Amino acid sequence: MLKYIPSLTDIVMEEIPDRVTLAVEITNCQGNCPGCHSPFLRDDIGEELTSAAIDRMVKDNFGVNCFLFLGEGRDRDSLFRLAGHIRKEFPGIQTALYTGRDSVGPEYSEYFDFIKTGPYKEELGPLNKPTTNQRLYYHGEDITSRFWKR
């Protein structure tokens, strides 16, 4: 089971380039990044994220074209099932995953159009810094540089 914090669900414009993104904070984070902006997400808190909850969120947020799982929790099967549900029920909405792990297996690409990898390292900075260790991939292509000011 995946859990999320409904009150933190929001529409964001900067997490995924050129997308109106519905960002959902997933709890039970596996990471332990120093300087984490939301350490409470490591806890087993929140409500179960279900297909019905996703359907409701998407329908209540007309115009979104990307659904972002901010974290992957501890139940990969549920994560894949829910991402697959979005792809099947809402073919115009792309899926995205932010994980703090350095990499994920190739099977993740079957479920996610965008995958951000890498734990946050304060000394290296976030995605908008060229020194970052984090990477954002779109269908396997590294598009991290799109966050850097030219």
pTM: 0.95
DSSP for 46-74, please give it. Answer: SEE--HHHHHHHHHHSTT--EEEEE--TT
Give pLDDT tens digits for 83-127.
999 999 999 999 999 998 999 999 999 999 999 999 988 899 999
Q: What angle do CA 131, 65, 147 make, to 5 degrees?
A: 15
Q: Where are the domains of the chain?
A: 3-147
CA-to-CA distance for 29 and 66, rounded, in angstroms? Answer: 21
Question: DSSP label at 24?
Answer: E
Structure tokens at 147: 């966050």
Q: What is the mean pLDDT of residues 69-96?
A: 97
pLDDT at 78 over 80: yes
Angle between helices 76-89 and 51-60 (to 10 degrees): 40
